[in-house]
């Protein structure tokens, strides 16, 4: 893997999109919330246009009859994510799908699969269509399709036409009118105007698809605009780059970068002002580094892992500790020696996670804004944020992935996982609506389930990184990962909301894809894994599971097994 970066200033430098920039300025925009989907593209006078199917205010969002209209790319600048869904649903260049399959996709919707195969996503809902020019308030124009015209068309009107024989590019057929208002273009159904209605089950027509399949210009223009829009988002994110040497796609524009959790309805987390901090005797520069390494004394380390080796030096206390532990009762941890979570190597190198925490996954507690120790305290690592540059890059068969631009050493902190924090119910609602073919970005905050006052199996929160998050949302799974995720908290009493922090689990050379195990499994012997993989492949329950493309020797065959 090369370590070449794509700088944000030179976003198009390392991917195959044409170099010239066409950030057209829209004088009028179609409001994204009024779009149902984009259903075709065409080129008129060398300009890209897209056929928009509008939503109506009524449920369901795609009623049997809706308005459709052609719009230049500039009018769709606020709705580029719809254009992206359309372009990414088309057969990929060089795909094996035949032209016939492309054209007949109308009758047999195909789903775009992971890289390598592709299809045309089409919705067969019967809709009424509007093909129009986009200039001003439109008045009905004569149809070239020979459809019947009526000022009182009922919703059942299905106008059959000789559309197949017409040059559709010169045709203006619609059942609504477009209005321009406050810089936006709106479509509304015409009740009074003498407007033509056609059966939009025929949209896009065979001719439109034919033209579209032979006209890549609008797709190239759209992909360039989409890339520019994503780079604009990335411009505000320090130290994250984008690279795609595989194809012309861009990460979803439906995704926004955030720098902290976004708590959704029903989710609460304590205000940092109310965190309990460590008090005397912790203080800045208490020893040669600073106070909180005296783990018996620092309040923030009350729930840190007990250092049993140290404790053994006090046989009486050790025996008492073992007794409490074996009884299953709460162990009084006050005053016990604890394991400090981080090591601070010399020579200005970054702190690393101690091997005990790296292997045992005991929660890590850091000091907070109310502590007596101050900013230089050695427990403050994750809260200081990412210090390495990351690149989101396109993989051959796992969608987008992430690599670090610098060498990482074992135990080095990378970044946290961010997203919207949801209740379990809201997560279930989103899961029910989710496209099974899309990736999963859900992360459970269930580390403390079963503890006192902690959430239960039914109530823990979930982080959803699909629409909001940071670069770690693009980290792929491997059955032999080089990173691990750890629970890190600045508030030892909060068992509901805490950080999901990624640390290097091995030394990772710059440019190597970062991965973690989505199932968080412990290492297994290779022969056990191979046996389980064979069983998993034969198991019909796994038919719907997503095959794992991690390529590791110990690959388990599927994600989430
Ligand atoms: C958290 S996302 C990772 C980023 C994702 N690749 C993307 O392009 O947005 C998880 C999704 O990535 C894909 N993925 C991750 N690891 C994979 C693997 N080892 N093999 C196949 N697909 C993988 C799956 O679609 C999965 O649902």
Model pLDDT, residue 76: 95
**38 or 106, which is more confident?**
38
Give mean pLDDT, residues 76-92: 92
**Does 486 sit in the ligand 1 pocket, CB within 6 Å?**
no
Mean pLDDT of 293-302: 86
Per-residue model confidence (pLDDT) at position 434? 79
Nearest-atom index, ligand 1, CA of 551: 19
pLDDT class of 542 with cuts at 50, 70, 90: confident
pLDDT, greater one: 479 or 523: 479
What confidence tier does 147 reach under pLDDT thresholds 50, 70, 90? Answer: very low
Mutate to test the pocket of ligand 1, among 398, 438, 479, 553 (most ligand atoms within 8 A of CB): 398
477 Cβ below 6 A of ligand 1: yes
- Any ligand 1 atom below 6 A from CB of 400: yes
Q: Residue 551 has what pLDDT? A: 94
Q: Which helix (H) or strand (E) holds 391?
A: strand 390-394
Residue whose Cα lies nearest atom 15 of ligand 1: it is 476
Sign of the Cα pseudo-torsion (477, 479, 482, 487, in order): positive
Q: What is the pLDDT of residue 183?
A: 84
ipTM surpasses 0.90: yes
Q: How confident is the model at residue 448 (pLDDT cuts 50, 70, 90)?
A: very high
Backbone torsions φ then ψ of 48, nearest 5 degrees: -75, 135
pLDDT-above-90 percentage for the chain: 51
Instruction: Give me ligand 1 centre to Cα 458, in Å.
Output: 26
CB 220 within 8 A of CB 52: no
| Of residues 136, 215, 146, 217, the one with CA closest to residue 179 | 136
Ligand 1 binding pocket includes 417 (Cβ within 6 Å): no
Distance from residue 490's CA to the centre of ligand 1 (Å): 30
pLDDT at 110: 25
pLDDT above 90 for 149: no
Ligand 1 close to Cβ of residue 463 (< 6 A): no
User: CB of 413 closer than 6 A to ligand 1?
Assistant: no
Per-domain residue ranges of the chain: 8-243, 525-561
Does 5 score more than 70 pLDDT?
no
Number of Cβ within 10 Å of residue 294's Cβ equals: 16
351 touches ligand 1 (CB under 6 Å):
no
Residues known to be catalytic: 417, 518
Mutational pocket test of ligand 1: of 399, 400, 481, the residue with most ligand atoms within 8 Å of the beta carbon:
399
- Please list, residue by residue across 43-62, b when 16 or more beta carbons sit within 10 angstroms of its beta carbon and e when fewer do: beeeebbbbbbbbbeeeeeb
More confident residue, 139 or 54: 54
Cα 398 to ligand 1 centre (Å): 5
The CA 431 to ligand 1 mean position distance, Å, reads 16
Of the pLDDT bands very low, low, confident and very high (cuts 50, 70, 90), residue 124 is very low
Does the CB atom of residue 244 touch ligand 1 within 6 A? no
Residue 288 confidence (pLDDT) above 70: no
pLDDT score, position 58 = 57
Asked if pLDDT for residue 60 goes beyond 60, the answer is no
What is residue 181's predicted lDDT score, i.e. its pLDDT? Answer: 83
Give residue 199's pLDDT: 63
Residue 137 has pLDDT above 50, yes or no: no
Q: What is the pLDDT of residues 507-526, one digit of tens each?
A: 999 999 999 999 887 777 77
Ligand 1 atom closest to Cα of residue 441:
1
The answer to which of 44-53, 130-139, 176-185 has the lowest mean pLDDT is 130-139
Question: Average pLDDT for residues 1-26, to the nearest whole number?
Answer: 34
Instruction: Kindly list the distances between the CA atom of residue 21 and the CA atoms of 18, 82, 229, 356, in Å, as whole numbers in the listed order.
Output: 8, 21, 12, 52
Ligand 1 centroid to residue 452 C-alpha, Å: 35
Please tell me the distance between residue 548's alpha carbon and the centre of ligand 1 in angstroms: 9
**Which atom of ligand 1 lies closest to the CA of 440?**
27
The per-residue pLDDT for 224 is 96
Decide which of 450 and 101 is more confident.
450
pLDDT of 190 reads: 66
Place of tokens 């292997």: 359
Q: What is the pLDDT of residue 425?
A: 93
Q: What is the pTM of this model?
A: 0.80
| pLDDT bucket at 59, cuts 50 / 70 / 90 | low
Beta strands 468-469 and 256-257, pairing class: parallel
Is 134 a residue whose pLDDT tops 50? Answer: no
Residues contacting residue 220 through CB under 8 Å, at least 6 positions apart:
17, 18, 248
pLDDT interval class at 211 (50, 70, 90): very high
Query: In this predicted structure, which of 36-40, 350-354, 484-488 has the lowest mean pLDDT?
Result: 36-40
Tokens 């372009």, located at residue: 87
Q: In this predicted structure, what is the pLDDT of residue 280?
A: 81
Q: Whose CA is nearest to atom 25 of ligand 1?
A: 439
């Amino acid at each position: 893997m090369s370590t070449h970066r794509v700088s944000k200033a030179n976003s198009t430098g390392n991917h195959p999109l044409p170099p010239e920039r066409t950030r057209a300025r829209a004088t009028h925009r179609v409001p994204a919330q009024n779009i149902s989907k984009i259903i075709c593209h065409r080129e008129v006078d060398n300009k890209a246009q897209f056929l928009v199917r509008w939503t109506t205010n009524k449920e369901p969002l795609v009623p049997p009859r809706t308005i459709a209209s052609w719009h230049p790319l500039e009018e769709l600048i606020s709705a580029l994510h719809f254009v992206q869904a359309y372009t990414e649903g088309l057969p990929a260049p060089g795909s094996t799908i035949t032209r016939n399959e492309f054209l007949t996709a109308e009758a047999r919707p195909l789903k775009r699969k992971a890289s390598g195969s592709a299809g045309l996503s089409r919705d067969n809902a019967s809709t009424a269509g509007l093909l129009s020019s986009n200039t001003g308030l439109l008045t009905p124009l004569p149809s070239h399709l020979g459809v019947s015209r009526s000022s009182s068309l009922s919703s059942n009107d299905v106008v059959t036409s000789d559309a197949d024989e017409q040059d559709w590019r010169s045709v203006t057929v619609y059942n609504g009118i477009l209005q321009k208002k406050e810089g936006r273009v709106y479509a509304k159904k015409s009740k009074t105007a003498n407007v033509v209605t056609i059966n939009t089950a025929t949209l896009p027509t065979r001719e439109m698809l034919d033209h579209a399949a032979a006209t890549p210009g609008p797709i190239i223009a759209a992909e360039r605009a989409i890339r520019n829009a994503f780079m604009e988002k990335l411009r505000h994110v320090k130290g994250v780059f984008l690279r795609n040497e595989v194809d012309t796609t861009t990460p979803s524009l439906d995704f926004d970068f955030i720098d902290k959790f976004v708590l959704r309805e029903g989710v609460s987390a304590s205000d940092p002002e109310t965190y309990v901090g460590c008090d005397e005797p912790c203080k800045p520069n208490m020893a040669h580094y600073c106070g909180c390494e005296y783990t018996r004394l620092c309040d923030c380390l009350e729930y840190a892992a007990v250092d049993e080796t140290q404790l053994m030096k006090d046989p009486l206390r050790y025996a008492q500790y073992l007794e409490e532990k074996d009884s299953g009762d709460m162990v009084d941890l006050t005053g016990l020696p604890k394991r400090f979570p981080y090591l601070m190597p010399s020579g200005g190198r970054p702190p690393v996670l101690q091997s005990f925490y790296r292997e045992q996954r005991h929660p890590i507690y850091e000091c907070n804004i109310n502590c007596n120790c101050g900013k230089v305290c050695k427990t403050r690592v994750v809260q200081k944020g990412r210090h390495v540059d990351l690149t989101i890059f396109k993989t051959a068969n796992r969608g987008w992935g992430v690599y670090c631009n610098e060498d990482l050493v074992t135990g080095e902190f990378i970044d946290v996982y961010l997203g919207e924090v949801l209740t379990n119910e809201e997560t279930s609602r989103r899961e029910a609506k989710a496209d099974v073919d899309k990736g999963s970005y859900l992360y459970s905050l269930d580390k403390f389930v079963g503890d006192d006052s902690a959430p239960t199996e039914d109530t823990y929160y979930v982080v959803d990184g699909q629409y909001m998050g940071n670069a770690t949302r693009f980290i792929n799974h491997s059955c032999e990962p080089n990173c691990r995720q750890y629970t890190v908290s600045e508030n030892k009493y909060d068992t509901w909301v805490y950080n999901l922090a990624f640390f290097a689990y091995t030394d990772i050379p710059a440019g190597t894809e970062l991965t973690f195990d989505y199932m968080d499994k412990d290492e297994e012997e290779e022969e056990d894994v191979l046996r389980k993989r064979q069983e998993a492949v034969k198991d019909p329950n796994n038919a719907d599971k997503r095959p794992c493309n991690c390529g590791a020797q110990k690959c388990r065959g599927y994600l989430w097994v």
